[in-house]
Amino acid sequence: MVEGSLMDTGGGGGVAFVFSAISRWKSIFGGGNRTIKAFSCLHCSHLELMVEFTDKDRKKYQEFDGPQPGVLDRISDPDQ
């Protein structure tokens, strides 16, 4: 999960996702903003939002500090 917030881009541009790690000034000028798509169910009115991340975003935010435990270690140890 990546922490962020929604921001009105103004001028009819809609709403964008802004990473929390981005400075306020950079987000105002469009740096770090990602387009949001919205999907809704016609029957129950459920709403889902989807952020369009770039490949660079995926690579950056999928890196972790230090070695990660293997799948078997995660399954056998519920505290991780």
How is the chain split into domains, by residue range? 4-75
**What is the secondary structure of 8-56 as a DSSP string?**
E-STT--EEEEETTS-HHHHHTTTTEEEEEEEE-TTT--EEEEE---HH
Tens of pLDDT, residues 47-71: 999 999 888 888 887 766 666 667 6
pTM (2 d.p.): 0.59
